[in-house]
């Protein structure tokens, strides 16, 4: 897989409905801080269809790494594996792990939520485009120690299923629809 990643302005009006709702929830939990703590961000308060598509990583400071604390079941079905407890650098193909590592590093360095739009080509030569929202979490209100992420869109699912060999996986719909 080959990727080009662009950082988009974080305009809730340009996000899919589901990502806009998650961003609004994150905003409501952060208060006057740059990010809410993991203890304040409750997956069970999100739209139940969003949770299986979600991931949360623990930020390991030295050397910098990101280990999956939570890897949603729908993501595991599409990717063919539950990555909970594994570094993002273990992802396959390796280019995917490096792309995820770079995106998460930006969130840690800048201490801000980031909206990524990814364009790529799969190993089978198919075009792929999807968005990802990555939100910092901070237990001490100073450093990013966890990151919540959610992404994809309906059109990319069939392409990703072919890439990972998981064509029969069930996956919630509605990611590509804009707010109305």
pLDDT at 55: 97
pLDDT at 180: 34
pLDDT at 169: 45
Fold classification of 2-164 is: Beta-Lactamase (3.30.450)
Contact 48, 74 (CB under 8 A): no
pLDDT at 76: 87
- Which residues make Cβ contacts (< 8 Å) with residue 114, sequence separation at least 6? 7, 10, 103, 106, 107, 133, 134
Strand partners, 146: 58, 137
The domain limits of the chain are 2-164
Residues of the chain short of pLDDT 70, as ranges, are 1-3, 122-123, 152-180
Phi/psi of residue 53, nearest 5 degrees: -95, -5
pLDDT at 168: 53
pLDDT at 125: 79
């Amino acid at each position: 897989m080959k990727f080009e990643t662009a950082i988009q302005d974080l305009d809730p009006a340009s996000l899919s409905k589901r990502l806009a709702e998650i961003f609004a929830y994150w905003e409501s939990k952060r208060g006057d801080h740059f990010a809410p703590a993991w203890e304040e961000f409750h997956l069970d308060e999100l739209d139940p269809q969003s949770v299986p598509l979600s991931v949360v990583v623990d930020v390991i400071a030295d050397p910098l790494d990101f280990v999956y604390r939570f890897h949603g079941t729908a993501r595991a079905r599409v990717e063919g594996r539950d990555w909970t407890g594994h570094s993002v650098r273990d992802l396959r193909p390796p280019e995917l792990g490096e792309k995820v590592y770079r995106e998460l590093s930006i969130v840690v360095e800048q201490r801000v939520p980031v909206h990524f739009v990814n364009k790529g080509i799969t190993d089978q030569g198919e075009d792929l485009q999807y968005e990802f929202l990555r939100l910092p979490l901070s237990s001490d209100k100073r450093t990013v120690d966890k990151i919540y992420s959610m992404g994809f869109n309906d059109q990319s699912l069939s392409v990703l299923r072919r890439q990972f060999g998981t064509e029969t996986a069930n996956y919630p719909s509605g990611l590509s629809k804009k707010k109305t």
